[in-house]
Amino acid sequence: MKKVLVTGATGRTGLLVVNKLRQYPREFKVVGLARNEDKVKEIWASTDDFYFGNIKDKTTIEKAISGCDALVILTSAVPQIKGTPAPGARPEFYFADGESPEEIDYYGQKNQIDAAKSAGINHVVLVGSMGGTEETNPLNRVGNGKILIWKRKAEQYLIDSGINYTIIRAGGLLNEPGGKRELLVGKNDELLKNPPDGIRPSIPRADVAELVVRALQIDEAKNKAMDTISRPPSENGENVKIDFVKLFEQTTAGL
């Protein structure tokens, strides 16, 4: 049985990952790291197997990761809206003090990777976002935070750490059912710049969560980094059969 720490466990994708891992009680023992105890109680009604603290505090991470075999990183900076935009105007965003992408998506993830290496973690699965090769990507302009740039720096830090890694860079995240779409993988934002057949470069959160779980189960997922999007669901709404081994074999090591 693998003991897996999931950070960012109360986020919209994080809670899906925790729930999916708990569907395999003979394979995984899941522990979570979150900042808000009330939010954990609201979602799961219990704080069992949860640690609470900030990823900027190495001590908190070290306590949570002790005895674990794998780490799933789902933490991310979250922009805030500046007041109420005028009618017809675009909203402006900012990052709260201490919550910038540099602090959360780089140094916060760096803290987690360092703790994982010190604890002898065998495998780190890092969930990021496509667009890190495009400095002018709109997400980088949000709050002038350059969030995708900092995420990509953290990905390179993980690769250089020497720990087995799987990096999953998702397209636009959809709150839709998983298992209904063909998944596509690529590199260097090719799927973002030139999506096949002009499809929307997006993917359901549930499919990203499924990829995380499969990455922890499949050896072919180790030391791989990939972009991923999905095709539109079939008209009949049937589930799509996916060979996850072949999916991970399609991509390579390194950014």
Q: For 227, how many CA atoms within 13 A lie in the half-sphere containing its CB?
A: 22
Do residues 57 and 42 touch, judged by C-beta distance below 8 A? Answer: no
Tokens of 136: 């002018």
Which among 125, 114, 115 has a CA at the least distance from the CA of 72?
Answer: 125
Within 8 A by CB and 6+ apart from 160, the residues are none
76 catalytic residue (yes or no) = no
Quickly list H helices, 25-132.
Answer: 37-44, 58-65, 101, 109-118
Instruction: Give CA–CA dist 164/94, Å, rounded.
Output: 35
Which of 66, 76, 118, 129 is an active site residue? 129
Q: Which active-site residues does the annotation give?
A: 129
